[in-house]
Amino acid sequence: MILFDLDGTLVDSAPDLGGAANAMLRARGLPELPLSVFRPHGGSGARGMVGTAFGVTAAHPEFEALKAEWFSHYEPRLLQETRLFAEVEAMLDALAGKALRIGIVTNKAERYAHPVCDGLGLTPRASVIIGGDTTPHRKPHPAPLLEAARRAGIDPAQCVYVGDDERDMMAGRAAGMRTIAVAWGYLGTGKPIGEWPADAIIESPLQLLMALA
């Protein structure tokens, strides 16, 4: 079974994630930021967008209010500009042709993850969809990945986890799964992708087929 992260791996949601933050800046009469500034932080969701726009961390006294405001802008635009990355649909078709099941494990809360998966046609393809609030833990904890395997009725050792963040690789390793990092994703601002605990790195979605061979 191939398990995928969502944002930055299967879907390019950065335009809507950053768009919600820019809406907050506009409301304050502040200049908007270019998408290129938001993109590396796409995997961090509200924390990344609020932090990038306003320079605050989760410890800041105004952070929770800013985060709630960000979600109020993001929820109405979940699918305004969010799209599958190029080659993702062809990759998923190829996996289905090889009778490989797929699942999605994301830190995005279920109330946002499911509409995105529904709107982009991912839900019918996925045997399981695990959100950031499905279990008491989020990646890099292995619990969401282990829950995906449990629901699918498959040994975690028979799973591969594919993602665009070091936390994805850490979670996959901790769950006893093979890990594959995707170089087209958001990648974060920490260690370079070559230093992540990944078993392989791929440059495009269709390369996954070769990496699995």
Written as one string, the DSSP assignment of 52-69 is HHH---TTSTTHHHHHHH
State how far the Cα of 89 lies from the Cα of 121, in Å rounded to an integer: 9
Cβ neighbours of 101 (radius 10 Å) = 16
* Residue 59 near residue 47 (C-beta atoms within 8 A): no
Instruction: Record the tokens describing residue 73, joined without a space.
Output: 């802008």
Q: What is the DSSP letter of 70?
A: H
Cβ neighbours of 79 (radius 10 Å) = 15
State how far the Cα of 39 lies from the Cα of 33, in Å rounded to an integer: 11
Q: Can 199 be counted among the known catalytic residues?
A: no
State how far the Cα of 120 lies from the Cα of 117, in Å rounded to an integer: 5
Give strand pairing partners of 3: 103, 161
* Candidates 5, 12, 16, 164; catalytic one: 5
Phi, psi dihedral angles at 95 (to 5 degrees): -65, -40
Catalytic residues: 5
